[in-house]
Amino acid sequence: MKLEHTLPADIERTSMKMITAELAEQGITLAPGTEAVVRRVIHTTADFSYAQTLCFTPGAVGLGAAALAGGAAIITDTNMALAGISKAALQKLGGQAACFMAEPSVADAAKAQGTTRAVAAMKKAAAEYPGAVLAVGNAPTALLEICAQMEQGLRPALVVGVPVGFVNVVEGKETLFAACQRYGVPAIVAMGRKGGSNVAAAICNALLYTAAGLLDPAARGWQG
């Protein structure tokens, strides 16, 4: 077997061309402005169902990218998502990313309040980074806490709601999307059970690459 497209940039470009072609074969037309995010998620998961389950409030991609271009922080609900976010792109934009889930103060607050660490972490994010991009790939309780914080006046730059699972996941996503629409908060949500930290990171990277002019992998210093 002879391998082709072995340079990193060539592999990514070829993959994206294949994704675009397969979407066309399936008769799927992506909503204008959402292409970079949807293709990046499919590239990460090899799951074309995201072309239909990813939901966007109007202008969410552009607004999220603009916020990151302005230096907005990204706060995730898992260290796995944090690890997958491009630090080079963040650095180019002068931004930062953080996850509070492993902090002792968050664990203590969750125990004292009888709630989850995800809830405590989102309360901390709301207090310390009110204009951040909030990226949730694991905990539906985090989504519900974001909704509660929005009721109290929080207005994140963007909410990425893509937790994976079976308990409260579908309902949590639907509740979040409705709340974001109600309060005028940009949102990208993967409806249904699918999602995960890798999806949250992929969406954040698509926004970062858009904001930093790094959608072409060669611009990120990759070979090819």
**Catalytic center residues:** 43
Q: Tell me if 99 is assigned to some domain.
A: yes
Residue 137 lies in a domain: yes
pTM: 0.95
In a domain, 198, yes or no: yes
Contacts of 143 (CB under 8 A, 6+ apart): 136, 159, 161, 163, 172, 173, 175, 176
Residue 224 counted as domain residue: no
pLDDT at 224: 42
Helix (H, G, I), strand (E, B) or coil at 54: strand
pLDDT for 4: 62
Answer whether residue 1 is part of any domain. Answer: no
What does the pLDDT look like over 108-152, one tens digit per residue?
999 999 999 999 999 999 999 999 999 999 999 999 999 999 999
Any domain includes 45: yes
The CATH number that applies at residue 162 is 3.40.50.10230
Q: Is residue 103 part of a domain?
A: yes
Task: Give the model's confidence band at 5: pLDDT under 50 very low, under 70 low, under 90 confident, else very high.
Answer: low
At which residue do the structure tokens 């969406």 appear?
Answer: 203
Question: How many domains would you assign to the chain?
Answer: 1
Residue 2 lies in a domain: no
Full residue range of the structural domain in which residue 16 is found: 8-217
In the structure encoding, which two tokens stand for residue 153, read together? 């006046």
